[in-house]
Structure formats: structure tokens, C-alpha cells
Amino acid sequence: MSESDKTIDIVIPDIGDSESVEIIEILVAVGDQVSNDDSLLTLESDKASMEVPATSAGVIKSLTVSIGDSVSSGAVIGTMSIADSAASESSDKPAAAEAETPARETEEPAAAKPDKPTPPPASPAEPVKPAPSSQSTSPTAHLDDENMRKAHASPGVRRYARELGADLSLVTGTGPKARITKTDVTAFIKQALEGMGSNYRGGSGAAVSGGAGIPPIPEVDFSKFGEIERVELGRINKLSAANLHRAWLNLPMVTHHDLADVTEMEAFRKQLKEESGKDDPKVTGLAFHMKALVKSLQAFPKLNSSLSADGEALFYKHYYHIGIAVDTPNGLVVPVFRDVDKKSVHQLAIEMSDVSTRARQKKLKPDEMQGASMTISSLGGIGGTSFTPIVNPPEVAILGITRASMQPVWNGSEFIPRLMCPLDLTYDHRVVDGADAARFMAFYVRQISDIRRLTL
């Protein structure tokens, strides 16, 4: 390092409202030369994977983290040397400024061997102490706050336990100094569910707060039928499955199916494509659907609301942010497009192209996947005639779109060919009733069938 070089901290940027996120990949080593915006490591939260870029060109001097460590916003995870001129530029970047933010408690401190051996987790054969019957059946309810405070666990683990409905006072910690880890919580839940299966069959077993006595699916040895290969699910897939399962168990969901005539919309879209230049954005039908959805939410504000945690009130939203489910090699992510009511179809087309690319490159930020009014799940050109998308709480509805097909439609005197698009609205029946959904979809169908209405 020359005398003109400066040393700066490598800082974890803003990770949204997550307490901490796990490092799943380290892309550089000490001594590596990196350029500005080169990816240094990959983080994974319960929503998506994201890469941490270098804030300046330089050489990696030190790294203080390993794969599997949990880090929070503002945490310093190493240093790098940069040219003196670059140091003044990097100091203006938000990520560098965050170095002054104290790092939050990680989920499993790297140091510290336990002072004394900790007792092993309870054997599956041993029953787990049942949670008090007075506790709420909601997985997100605050379980016995006093016991939760006494348990030795990080904030991230506490939140994880609350989401799954586990009482931390009943969980045995296997971390340093009997600290409770996420693995311990997961093992407790698994053991409790096995116990519920025993109860269902008439035996004695575990109970978990919020459990519904659902028997587990028995484990099968597939190798006895032929050759198999076991492939571990990615973190996003596992957490998405848990979130969807939680929504399925807690929300009374109903799906309303409908058809929309998109013949005129598709003709206009093709005309835009023919008139566009080489550098113009590609306008897809999804941009029109986003605009039609906003019009419908404005006409039926109940579907642009969220139910309070106690179920006693509705929060009506005066913004129109639309989530779009994007299929990536690492799993499904849902980036949120903000203020769709204030953007043109061309602006949405440009934004969708950019966001889709960054989603597949793991470059979406956590705050880009939060705050949706409602989500669209589009199967696009893949196929299908209908499906039942699952509501993503705290939203109260989700719109499914499948591939349009040419069908004969009676116009009063003859059958004529029209391009018909299947639509599927799944809604939380605690907030939206069948009549609300039917009126909402009738209005939506009128909007997308005659896109001139979108200009009103």
C-alpha cells in the first residue's frame, strides 16, 4: 500500500427491517483487487438474496466474517485500502456513512466457547411441555412476554420464535452459554409437531402454541423404490414455504375466477411494439394490468387495506404500490413497484425491465420488496387456465393472471373470436366478502377490456 492510500471499513448496507441476515457466499479474499460496485459477498434474508458491492476500487485488507455468520445493518465486516482520491468520494456514499451505526446483536456470536457443556436437546421420545392454553392461536402473537424475555436468545431468534408460535421458555439452547439459536427453535417445533401427531393417534406427545393438532406426513424411504438424489432446498425456498404455510393456516381464503376480453389491449400493445425504436422499452400486458389494478383499488379501497393484528380494525392505504411475483433461479421474489398510479405504461415497462434483471442477479434491496398494496402473480406465457394464488399477508388479496387464449364469444347475433384472459382473485374472507370480490373483478374486467378507461 502506498503512502497515499487510505484504509476504509467494509460496511453492511441497509438491510431493511431485518434484525440480521445470513452470509451465504464470500466472493473475495484478502489481497484481492476489486473495482467499484464489484460484489464482495452475498446475503440472504427471508425475502431474497442480495449482494454487497464495493463502494470504491481498492484492495481487500481484512475480512472478519465467514459463511454462515449473521450480520446487521452498519456492521463492519472488514477493511480495504483505496487511493486517497477515492476515499473522499466513498465518504459521501450512504453505505460508508453507515459504518458509524453500531452493529446489532448477531444471532450466533463467533467467539466464546461455552463455559460448561450444555445439556443436549430433548429426545424426540420425551414429551415437550405444552404451552398454556390461554395463549393466542396466532403464530405472530406475543407469547408469554416475561418468559420470552428470560430466555437467552437474540432479537432475531425471538422474532423467529414468535412467528412460528414457539415459547422460548420451553426451548433448550445449544449455543454458547446455552444461547437459543434458530436451529433450536426449529428442532423444538419439529418435535412438538411429532408430538401432535402422537396425540392425534391417541398417544401422548408435544404441543406447540398455535398448533391445530395437524398430524405430520410420515417419512418415506424412497430409496427402496429405486435410485434417488437428495437436493437441499435453498434458504429462500424454505422460508417461502414456511410463510405460505402460515398464511394458509391463518387466513380463510377464497378464490374468485373470471375472464377478461383483452383483444383490444393486446392489439394496442402490438401496435406500440411496431412503432417503438430499438432503444424503446418493451411494453408487456403486465403494465396494463398494473394500471387496471390501481384503478380497481381506487374504486374499492377495502382491497387496499390490511387487518390489524388484533383483528379489530382495518388500515386503509392511500398509496398504490403493486408487488409483482418474479421467478428467479433462487426462488420466487416479489419486488414492489411504488406509486403505480403516478407512472405511465412506458415508465412501468422501463422499471420492470430493470427490476427483473436485478432480481435475477440478487441485487434487489430489502426495501424494494416491502409495502405492497396488492400483489400480481402472472404465469404469463407459461400456460394454464386458472390457479389459486395464496394471499401474502398483510395484504388482503392477490391477483392471478394466466395465458390468454382465443375463444368464440357470442355478441348477440353470432360467435366472434376474442382473446380471453383468465383472472383469479384470492382474498382474505375476514376482510373481503364474496360480493366485494365479485364487484371488484367486474370493475377490473371493464378496465382491462377497454383500456381507454385507464385514462379517465
**Averaged pLDDT of the chain:** 80
Residue-wise pLDDT tens digits, 294-340: 999 999 999 999 999 888 999 999 999 999 998 888 778 899 999 99
Q: Is the pLDDT of residue 227 over 80?
A: yes
pLDDT the model gives residue 150: 55
Instruction: Sort strands 397-401 and 326-328 into parallel, antiparallel or unpaired.
Output: unpaired
Q: What is the reported pLDDT for 156?
A: 66
Residue at grid coordinates 378496465? 447
5/154: higher pLDDT? 5
- pLDDT tens per residue, range 78-118: 999 987 655 554 444 444 333 333 333 334 444 444 444 44
- The answer to which of 232-241, 339-348, 385-394, 396-405 has the lowest mean pLDDT is 232-241
Q: Which pLDDT score is estimated for 201?
A: 41
Q: What is the pTM of this model?
A: 0.61
**In the prediction, which pLDDT does 120 show?**
45
- Rounded to the nearest 5 degrees, what angle is found at the Cα of 122, between the Cα atoms of 116 and 124? 155
DSSP of 336-391, one letter per residue?
EE--GGGS-HHHHHHHHHHHHHHHHTT---GGGGS--SEEEEE-TTS--S---PPP
123/137 Cα distance (integer angstroms):
26
Distance in angstroms (rounded) separating the CA atoms of residues 24 and 49? 9
Q: What integer is the mean pLDDT of 370-379?
A: 95
Residues in contact with 378: Cβ distance below 8 Å, sequence separation at least 6, in sequence order: 286, 289, 324, 325, 400, 401, 402
pLDDT at 213: 59
**Nearest-10 Cα torsion for 297, 298, 299, 305:** 50
Tell me the domains of the chain and their CATH numbers: 5-100 (2.40.50.100), 112-219+231-250 (no CATH), 253-455 (3.30.559.10)
Average the pLDDT over 422-446 and give the result: 97
Per the CB < 8 A criterion, the answer to whether 348 and 340 are in contact is yes
Please report, for residues 54, 215, 261, 424, the alpha-carbon distance to residue 169 in angstroms, rounded to integers and kept in the order given. Answer: 42, 24, 57, 43
Q: Residue 455 has what pLDDT?
A: 83
SS3 content of the chain, % helix, strand, coil (to 5): 35, 20, 45
Strands, E assignment, 122-227: none
For residue 330, the SS3 value is coil
Bridge partners (DSSP) listed for residue 52: 41
Amino acid making up residue 32: D
Residue 401 has pLDDT above 80, yes or no: yes
Residue whose grid cell is 411496431: 274
Cell output for 6: 487510505
Q: Is 429 a catalytic residue?
A: yes
Task: Say yes or no to pLDDT of 2 above 90.
Answer: no
- Judge whether residue 260 has pLDDT over 80: yes
Selecting among 152, 257, 346, 429, the annotated active-site residue is 429
The pairing of beta strand 374-378 with beta strand 322-324: parallel
Single-letter amino acid code for the residue at 118: T
pLDDT class for 430, splitting at 50, 70, 90?
A: very high
| DSSP letter assigned to residue 99 | G
pLDDT of 394 reads 93
* Joined grid coordinates for residue 349: 415497462
Strand order across the beta sheet in which 39-44 lies: 49-53, 39-44, 21-26, 70-71
Supply φ then ψ for residue 8, to 5 degrees: -125, 160
Amino acid identity of residue 442, one-letter, is: A
Q: Is the pLDDT score of 364 beyond 60?
A: yes
Q: According to the model, what pLDDT value does residue 289 have?
A: 97
pLDDT at 146 over 90: no
3-state DSSP assignment of residue 232: coil
Query: Residue 331: left if φ>0, alpha if ψ -120 to 50, beta else—which one?
Result: left
Residue 388: C-alpha distances to residues 133, 255, 427 (Å): 34, 6, 10
Map residue 435 onto helix, strand or coil.
helix
pLDDT top residue among 5 and 118: 5
pLDDT of residue 252 exceeding 80: yes
Residue 121: CB atoms within 10 A of its CB come to 16
Write out the three cell numbers for 369: 420488496
Q: What is the band of 130 on the pLDDT scale with cuts at 50, 70, 90?
A: very low
CA proximity to 289, closest of 419, 407, 451, 442: 451
Res 82: pLDDT: 87
Give 180's DSSP letter.
Answer: B
Comparing CA positions, the residue from 156, 214, 180 lying closest to residue 17 is 156
User: What's residue 162's pLDDT?
Assistant: 74
Ramachandran sector of residue 152 (left: φ over 0; alpha: ψ -120 to 50; beta: rest): beta
